[in-house]
Structure 1
Amino acid sequence: MSFQKGINAWCFPADISIQEMLRQAKTHGYQGVELNLGEGEAPFHLEMTEAELQAVAAQARELGLELPSVSTALLWKYPLTDNDESVREKGIRIVEKMLEAASVFGSKTVLVVPGLVTPEVSYDIAYERAREALKRLAKTAEEKRVSIGIENVWNKFLLSPLEMARLIDEVDSPWVGAYFDVGNVLQFGFPEQWIRILGKRLLAVHVKDFKTATGNITGFVPLLAGDIPWERVVEALNEVGYQGYVIPEISPFSRLPEQLIAQTSQALDAIFQ
């Protein structure tokens, strides 16, 4: 592969340990694992001490694996654009914890959902709040030497590559760019166009496939089982000079879950070689 091959922790069963996740990733030929910050009983959680984070980093190093990036689902629960200032502040603290952990892990990027447009939070207000939060967080990102990648997700926000590029440019920090999810745009756009427009703003890439005939959340499928034009995606990534990780983010199989890890590794090789 001309790109680096990673895998997101959500591809594994929820009850798996970090140690076993790393072992399976190594066994099936991945170079890095993207861990997801959670709450409470999650194996990687908000209350972890630096020593505990160092221990996770050491487990990866022992297997010759990198922890290239950190993601989270918590910004859906605590959006940076919420009407409640205390919720927005909780979101800020979550990103700060991600940056702290990423710094310990040696990660280059943290994935940030920039906000949600809802019946209560209008698009223009969400945009202003997201920009304000990202400008503030860019200072912490610079201190920690870890980049913030804002992701395109199904949040009714940043619905075009021009708009995402504009937001990144207005934040105006070398530490804030795009975390592009190839599968998330297929229902309303063309991933290769997003890649070319985002260009050098592109920090990291998530991959999954999508069946447009299904057209809803159940349309996300394993790699090569959907309608993503992979040849055009690879051509666009090469054209803009992207050289980072390509990281699948796919729901685990309900039976024999390690088969997803094996099959996804083979699919990545087939797509990106």
Structure 2
Amino acid sequence: MIKCINTNSLEGAESYDELLEQAVKHRFAGLELSVDADRRLPPRIKGETWPTAIEKAQKKGLEICSVTTREYDIVGLGSSAAKVRDIAIEYLNNFIVCAAEEGRGAIVVIAAHENRPLGALLDGSYEQTFNLVFESLKTLAARAEEHFVYLAIENPGSGLLLSPLELRELIDEINNPYMGICLNPHYAERLGDPLDWLNILDRRIIAVHLPVEQPPQIEAQKNYQSLLTALDKRGFTNPIVYVKKK
């Protein structure tokens, strides 16, 4: 397992350089870059672009394990408005291309509901939203495979994909080797036991988001030690990303 921290989850840093120092201090091995539409790191460290952020991190011995964005989430890919979906797909397609060119192996993570309240209502029926999400993800998975970039969707805590069986079916139907799941146990436990989600989703999990308070390593290791132990027994070697609890 690669212990990483999301760049929005380290508080108190006035600059990206200070953020890197904090990551090293807390003994993280890598970062998950959270970037905006211009591929810059918001909000405290605007001005740092994706390429320069990668270069500076590597000089500190930190790996860029994954990248994500606050601009679009999994629910937005199922919007009933075709224009909204098209814009989201186009943006995330470009995001994948940038990951291939500049990300150096980073996994692209599509957040569950980054910019909407947990439990926000869908703008269409459940079935319609599910089908639209499926088609959007199928398109994105094809682009990810074309560029040899792994794409992971974070499991929502409400609103959509409410069981690990449903999420497993979605991934299996897309049937793309570059498409997987970013397991968030905090969201999973709203709907059941995170260990059940782990057992059912199994090899489809290619990244993990662990919700934490400050300092970043303590609470997650206490609350989710059984999950970390289970992942370790499975030989999981992909990113474990510590993210600020919402």
Q: Report the TM-score, using the length of structure 2 for normalisation.
A: 0.83
Q: Which residue among 193, 196, 210 is the counterpart of 1:190? A: 193
Whole-Å separation in 2 of the counterparts to 1:228 and 1:152: 22
Aligned residues: 236
Out of 94, 106, 112, the position equivalent to 1:97 is 94
Shift of residue 8, structure 1, vs aligned partner: 0.5
Could you say which residue in structure 1 is the equivalent of 2:46? none
1:143 to 146, 150, 163: 146
Cα displacement (A) at 1:83:
1.3
Q: Which amino acid aligns with 1:27?
A: K
Partner of 1:101: helix, strand, or coil?
Answer: helix
Tell me how far apart the structure 2 counterparts of residues 180 and 98 of structure 1 sit (CA, whole Å): 21
CA-to-partner distance for each residue in 1:185-235, whole Å, 9 max, x for gaps? Answer: 11221111111111111100011269xxxxxxxxxx966558975342123
1:112 deviation in Å? 1.2
Note the C-alpha offset of 1:16.
4.1
- Which of the pair is proportionally richer in strand? 2
Name the residue aligned to 1:71. Answer: 68
1:232-263 per-residue CA deviation (whole Å, 9 max, x = no partner) reads: 212321343321121111159xxxxxxxxxxx
Change (3 A) 1:187 1:251: closer
Corresponding residue for 2:107?
Answer: 109
Q: State the distance in 1 between where 2:58 and 2:129 align.
A: 39
Q: Which residue of 1 aligns with 2:16?
A: 18
Q: Are 1:79 and 1:114, in contact at CA under 8 Å, matched by a contact in 2? A: no
Aligned Cα root-mean-square deviation (Å): 3.2
For the 8 Å contact 2:212–2:245, the answer to whether it is kept is: no
Partner of 2:6: 8
State the alpha-carbon separation in 2 of the partners of residues 94 and 15 from structure 1: 29
Query: Does structure 2 conserve the Cα–Cα contact (< 8 Å) formed by 1:70 and 1:107?
Result: no
Name whichever of 188-197 and 14-23 sits farther off.
14-23
TM-score, normalization by structure 1: 0.75
The one of 233, 237, 242 equivalent to 1:243 is: 237
- Equivalent residues of 2:212, 2:243 under 8 A apart: no
Q: In the TM superposition, what are the counterparts of 1:246-265 in structure 2 within 5 Å? A: 246-250=240-244
Task: Provide structure 2 residue ranges, at least 5 long, that are not aligned to the other structure.
Answer: 44-48
Change (3 A) 1:188 1:77: closer
In structure 2, distance between residues paired with 1:226 and 1:31: 16
Moved beyond 6 Å, runs of 4+? 114-117
Note the residue ranges of structure 1 that are not aligned, 5 or more in a row: 46-51, 211-220, 253-273
Distance 1:184 1:140, change over 3 A: same
CA offset at residue 13 of structure 1? 3.9
**Separation (CA, whole Å) in 1 of partners of 2:88 and 2:26:** 34
CA 1:114–1:128: 2 relative to 1, 3 Å: farther
Structure 2: how far apart are the matches of 1:173 and 1:108?
17
Output the amino acid matched with 2:136: A
Provide Cα deviations, 1:144-179, integer angstroms capped at 9, x if missing partner. Answer: 211111111234111111111100000010010111
**The one of 33, 36, 54 aligned to 1:38:** 36
Confirm or deny that 1:175 pairs with 2:178.
yes
